[in-house]
Amino acid sequence: MHVTYVGHSTVLIQTEKANLIIDPFISGNSHTPLSLDDLPKIDAVLLTHGHGDHILDTQAIAERDGSLVIAIAELATYFSWSGLRVHGMSIGGSYTFPFGKVKLTQAFHGSSITDSEHKQIIYAGMPAGLLLSLEGKTIYHAGDTALFSDMKLIGEQNDLDLAFLPIGDNFTMGPEDALIAAKWLKAKRVVPIHYNTFPVITQDADKFADQLGGHGYVVSPGQTLEL
């Protein structure tokens, strides 16, 4: 399995059965060396919440590749109105797709779509994290979230091979809280995400990884991990 950190919170997962992308924010991200044209055919787009820096390229990818959009029910419905194939879920629910199992966990954050033209904020359902069971491996993508104590349960109930945790602060938990989250989750590898894309979320990812010892991995945008 190839897991590529595209940048910000975007992760590309390539298995023998499917290509998956989480929170596609590529065309609007100057910190990634990749473009939409660099992506393989995407079978499923998985979304943690509705903010623009997590859903920006969903429509373009899904229209190009016929991808299935997997998201919280309200956000899935929103994209279905644009003619996309969707699969709606809710927090705590899981579903086994041909490529593997997806479960939505809670996340403490907002979730909305901003309509600047009409000065409207559109409710996009609850924010979520993602637990993926793929080819005998378990991956946790926390989405945008604060630290919350039920991360202990996620760590106790799952043998996590890889966890993606936001460290940017301001909009999500910062490095100090992410260190606590990593301790509770007990993942074999922890990769920081959601940092340095904008000035307000500038962080020292190397320092964060060093504090995790052998479990912390800084993956530059465009780089790939093998699971």
Q: Which pairing describes strands 85-89 and 94-97: parallel, antiparallel, or unpaired?
A: unpaired
Stated pTM of the model? 0.98
pLDDT in tens, the chain (227 residues): 999 999 999 999 999 999 999 999 999 999 999 999 999 999 999 999 999 999 999 999 999 999 999 999 999 999 999 999 999 999 999 999 999 999 999 999 999 999 999 999 999 999 999 999 999 999 999 999 999 999 999 999 999 999 999 999 999 999 999 999 999 999 999 999 999 999 999 999 999 999 999 999 999 999 999 99
Q: 14 burial class (0-12, 13-18, 19+ CB within 10 angstroms)?
A: middle
Alpha carbons 63 and 95: distance in angstroms, whole number: 23
pLDDT of residue 113: 96
pLDDT of residue 165: 98
DSSP tag of 94 = E
List domains and CATH numbers for the chain: 2-226 (3.60.15.10)
Alpha carbons 81 and 218: distance in angstroms, whole number: 38
Q: Which helix (H) or strand (E) holds 181?
A: helix 175-185
